[in-house]
Amino acid sequence: MTVRAAVLPAVGAPLEITGIELPEPGPGQVRVRLAAAGVCHSDLSLSNGTMRVPVPAVLGHEGAGTVTAVGEGVGLVPGTPVVLNWAPACGGCPACARGEVWLCGHALDGAARVHARTADGTELHPGLNVGAFAEETVVPAACALPLPEGVPLIDAALLGCAVLTGYGAVHHSARVQPGETVAVFGVGGVGLATLQAARIAGAARIIAVDVSPGKEELARACGATDFVLADEQTPRAVRALTDRQGVDVAVECAGRAQSIRAAWESTRRGGRTTVVGIGGKDEQVTFNALEIFHWGRTLTGCVYGNSDPARDLPAIAAHVREGRLNLSALVTEHITLKDIPAAFEDMLAGRGGRALVVF
């Protein structure tokens, strides 16, 4: 069967919107007709080589759709709405044995498989396992999680990365407590989800930090009580809003050395700094030994929000149903496949929240 997809022919090359040939689902696989796919900064990082991916590849890892066919041994049935899970845990590696499924050593093994072919027979790989920038995809059953009731299918695409990451960063990594102060650095899709999660956690003051003044309205709609324009004076501005103490928790969502350092400096003595953003290997962040001792802060990385999708999706869906989490507030644009390169450019320029490819 031929479907339209956005194909990355080589690292650094422009995306090509073309027809691809998808196989029928084999044992343990499902075929999913996409309703929507979010354009995440990780897709940009895959396309430009910041993160490695086997190529040629169909990018896209944040999506939701409907099962249309299943292979042998699959419990799902056609017609089931699902959220795509780009990091399925194997259940048997040391990380999984510790219960840290977000660190599974085999979660991305499927990215190396042959996913589809172009019309001339060129083999394609699924970017981050799922290849969501396509009208349809074939994935392992573990990559298709049943969508809880009460969540619109198009908005549900955001659950597959932005919301699980932002929600998990607040509730699992930083463990924000009621009454604490929080600063969120970078107000893209993940940052907007983080702001909403901080509001759900009961944070008393939520400060959004971004390089674009146009993000203030978006940030406030998602729960920010204050907005600070990112510059060299950002830590001082954040401390001025917190009795010169700094915030209890800073969550960095941009993956840049400068903003990681600013998040660290904006955190109070003994506070927590969580880094969600994915930076390049050449982005160096430095600390001196004295400040590490003196400030007593905790600096932690955060992978996929330290989330277990099977556990967290029902909890997040409950927040959506009860009006505490507004998925549509994260989306600033509905686009088509051919508009993905423009969405990448908007990311680089710091414009907008989440662009959502709607099929």
Same domain for 337 and 299, yes or no, is no
pLDDT of residue 343: 94
Domain containing 285 — which CATH number? 3.40.50.720
Cα angle, residue 160 at apex, residues 157 and 165 outer, rounded to 5°: 130
Same domain for 205 and 340, yes or no, is no
Q: What is the pLDDT of residues 294-309, one digit of tens each?
A: 999 999 999 999 999 9
pLDDT of residue 157: 97
- Count of domains forming the chain: 2
Domain containing 132 — which CATH number? 3.90.180.10
pLDDT of residue 350: 83
Same domain for 226 and 277, yes or no, is yes
pLDDT of residue 173: 97
Same domain for 265 and 184, yes or no, is yes
With cut-offs at 50, 70 and 90, classify the pLDDT of residue 318: very high
pLDDT of residue 280: 85
Same domain for 123 and 244, yes or no, is no
pLDDT of residue 308: 96
Whether 292 is covered by a domain: the verdict is: yes
Measure the CA–CA gap between 102 and 331, rounded to whole angstroms.
25
Q: What is the pLDDT of residues 38-94, one digit of tens each?
A: 999 889 888 988 888 899 999 999 999 999 999 999 999 999 999 999 999 999 999
pLDDT of residue 352: 84
Q: What is the DSSP letter of 22?
A: P
Same domain for 173 and 152, yes or no, is no
pLDDT of residue 52: 85
Mean of pLDDT over the chain: 95
pLDDT of residue 28: 96
| Token pair for 118 | 């172009």
Same domain for 59 and 122, yes or no, is yes
Whether 93 is covered by a domain: the verdict is: yes
Whether 311 is covered by a domain: the verdict is: no
Measure the CA–CA gap between 301 and 172, rounded to whole angstroms.
12
Measure the CA–CA gap between 188 and 40, rounded to whole angstroms.
9
Same domain for 94 and 242, yes or no, is no
pLDDT of residue 116: 96
CB 29 within 8 A of CB 146: no
201 has pLDDT over 90: yes
CB 153 within 8 A of CB 208: no
Nearest residue to 285 (alpha-carbon basis) of 267, 262, 302: 262
Whether 308 is covered by a domain: the verdict is: no
Which residue has tokens 């994915």? Answer: 278
With cut-offs at 50, 70 and 90, classify the pLDDT of residue 1: confident
With cut-offs at 50, 70 and 90, classify the pLDDT of residue 183: very high
Same domain for 29 and 135, yes or no, is yes
Measure the CA–CA gap between 188 and 90, rounded to whole angstroms.
30
Whether 44 is covered by a domain: the verdict is: yes
With cut-offs at 50, 70 and 90, classify the pLDDT of residue 348: confident
Whether 317 is covered by a domain: the verdict is: no
Domain that holds residue 96: 2-160+326-358
Same domain for 20 and 143, yes or no, is yes
Q: What is the pLDDT of residues 110-156, one digit of tens each?
A: 999 999 999 999 999 999 999 999 999 999 999 999 999 999 999 99
Whether 45 is covered by a domain: the verdict is: yes
Same domain for 14 and 146, yes or no, is yes
CB 164 within 8 A of CB 226: no
Whether 316 is covered by a domain: the verdict is: no
Taking residues 147-176, report their average pLDDT: 96
